[in-house]
Amino acid sequence: MPRVTTKGQVTIPKEIRETLGIEPGDEIAFEEVESGYKIRKKEPTTADGEDPFEKYRGSADSGDTGDTMPERMRRLRGEYPRDSGDENDDDESEANA
């Protein structure tokens, strides 16, 4: 059973940390309920308490075309010019000029 240290610290048992997804450095919140207190992992917030990602939710176009990932990657690669990978191409064309 966890005990409170002289600094007021309590070690949260591993099983509970894993269940709640609590990692070192995470903040937790204690909420008063009728039967005592409830512990929960605090989600990231800004200084004013708002979710920093809320304004972006739903803003990205998924662009779902029904492609599989390999098909989508091939399509996306085709949209960008490819570098030949030969760093000497420019030197050779200048030498031949």
Say whether pLDDT at 14 is over 90: yes
In order of their start, the domains of the chain are 8-53 (2.10.260)
Please, which pLDDT band fits residue 13 given cuts at 50, 70 and 90? Answer: very high
The residue type at 11? T
pLDDT for 26 equals 86
Please, which pLDDT band fits residue 5 given cuts at 50, 70 and 90? Answer: very high
Are 37 and 30 spatial neighbours (Cβ–Cβ below 8 Å)? yes
pLDDT for 86 equals 60
**pLDDT tens digits for range 34-91:** 999 998 888 766 666 666 666 666 655 666 667 777 887 787 787 776 676 665 555 5
Half-sphere exposure of residue 53: CA atoms within 13 angstroms, side-chain side: 5
Q: In terms of Cα–Cα distance, which of 23, 25, 24, 20 is closest to 40?
A: 20
Tokens at residue 56, please? 């972006």
